[in-house]
Amino acid sequence: MNLFITRLNPETTADDLLKLFTHYGAVSTTRIIFDRLTGRSKSYGFVEMPNSNEALEAMNELNNSSFQESMIIVKLAQSDIDDEGRNGIGNAPQQALNVQTNHRVLKRTPQPVTPHKILKTNKEGRNSDHR
């Protein structure tokens, strides 16, 4: 089960999340998300736990709790809510700590291409430019 943790202290590391969540059970991976341009933490991350009961217990116990001088929020990640396989982190750089040997491959979502010029055929079969 994938958990979303927000309002993290900017100094929190993936290892810090690992230590916090292993109190509740096995942890597969922990990730902290960083801003691509500045390299600073965006103050949120993800924790993946293989046992749903342990993950739910961690979520219930840690939601709205104090961790490293911040009141954190813990909830189900969007991928576990909508079950579409998206992990909600897009292309943001991340600090990951793989605890087990199973690695998750993140798929990039293609960006929509907006054409500069759309050609439309009029009734006479001629192309006319529309912007």
Domain spans of the chain, in order of start: 2-106
Token pair 């949120």 is found at 44
In the predicted structure, residue 124 carries a pLDDT above the cut 80:
no
Could you give phi then psi for residue 96, rounded to 5 degrees?
-120, 145
Token pair 């982190």 is found at 89
And the tokens for 113? 């291409």
Burial class (CB in 10 A: 0-12, 13-18, 19+), 112: exposed
pLDDT of residue 102: 38
Residue 108 pLDDT class (50, 70, 90 cuts) = very low
**HSE on the CB side for 62, CA within 13 Å?**
28
pLDDT digits (tens, 9 = 90+) for 55-100: 999 999 999 999 999 999 999 998 766 554 444 444 444 555 544 3
Q: Per CATH, which fold does 2-106 belong to?
A: Alpha-Beta Plaits (3.30.70)
Q: Packing angle between helix 14-21 and helix 52-62, nearest 10 degrees?
A: 100
Residue 118 pLDDT class (50, 70, 90 cuts) = very low
